[in-house]
Copies of this chain bind each other. A is one copy, B any other.
Amino acid sequence: MKRQLETCFSPALYEEEKHSESVVVVIDVLRASSAICAAFENGAASIIPVAGVEEAREYKSKGYLVAAERDGFVLDFADFGNSPFNFTAEKVRAKTIVYSTTNGTGIIKKASSAHTVVIGSFNNMKALTAWLLNCDRDAVLFAAGWKNRFNLEDSVCAGAFASFLLGSGLYTTVCDSTLAAADLWTLASPDLPGYIEKAAQRSRLREKKLDDCLEYCLTMDVTEKIPVVRNGILVTL
């Protein structure tokens, strides 16, 4: 029997009770997913996702390396923020990082009732797709969106995963979100940075001069790392 593929465009649409036996792929392209993949590519040992600022501050006081931002800006007590360029080998190799973002870490917690939660981005698309194809479970592509709204970059990334997974013949779908995402990927794929130019988050990052990493975040297959949540902590498969 073919595995079912579903897509969720916003945390407000996530149906926790449906996915306890599924693999959930959390996608927050600009920038949490891309940053987490970069951290592991550069040798991080593990990442502790925390939703709240105070929790992050407590970890800092205990001596942890802390990445924390709100609305794109680094919090004053943190070591660095949410750009994948912050997670250099020099800073993160063999370290445990405490990571709090506006959006991404809350979603990882929301997905935690699933069988397995992995982090997906354009950066690890080929490796993660190959792993999913070997994993005999239904899958959910969970686009983080922005403040509970649909966003383009995460939906298009979900659509890329959907296209590859459905194209394999191992998955099928009865989910309109999955079909729409795949269609958006079809439109976007000939010129992904050009397509994402119109996205709201692209404008927000530009206004805050945080868009230096945009091209990187939209580059496919720069790492083979697959971040996975184990006992609430991110490690690699």
Contacts A10-B13, A13-B12; A176 near B199 (Cβ below 8 A): yes
Establish whether residues B176 and A200, one from each chain, have CB atoms under 8 Å apart when the complex forms.
yes
Establish whether residues B180 and A150, one from each chain, have CB atoms under 8 Å apart when the complex forms.
yes
For chain A, the count of residues having a C-beta within 8 Å of the partner chain is 26
| A151 within 8 A of partner (CB) | yes
Q: Which residues of chain A in 93-146 are interfacial with respect to chain B, using CB atoms and an 8 Å cutoff?
A: 146
Closest-CB distance, A137 to chain B (whole angstroms)? 21
How many copies the complex holds: the figure is 2
| A211 within 8 A of partner (CB) | no
| A148 within 8 A of partner (CB) | yes
Q: Which residues of chain B come closer than 8 Å to A149, judged between CB atoms?
A: 13, 175-177
Q: Which residues of chain B come closer than 8 Å to A148, judged between CB atoms?
A: 13
| A46 within 8 A of partner (CB) | no
25 contacts between A and B (CB under 8 A): A9-B9, A9-B150, A10-B12, A10-B13, A13-B148, A149-B175, A149-B176, A150-B176, A150-B177, A150-B180, A152-B176, A152-B179, A155-B176, A155-B180, A174-B200, A174-B203, A176-B199, A176-B200, A176-B201, A179-B198, A180-B180, A180-B184, A183-B183, A183-B187, A187-B187
Chain B residue nearest to A145 in the complex (CB): B176
Closest-CB distance, A179 to chain B (whole angstroms)? 6
In angstroms, Cα B187 to Cα A9, docked, is: 20
Chain B residue nearest to A147 in the complex (CB): B15
Q: Which residues of chain A in 180-219 are interfacial with respect to chain B, using CB atoms and an 8 Å cutoff?
A: 180, 183-184, 186-187, 198-201, 203
In angstroms, Cα B176 to Cα A187, docked, is: 15
Closest-CB distance, A163 to chain B (whole angstroms)? 14
Establish whether residues B151 and A176, one from each chain, have CB atoms under 8 Å apart when the complex forms.
yes
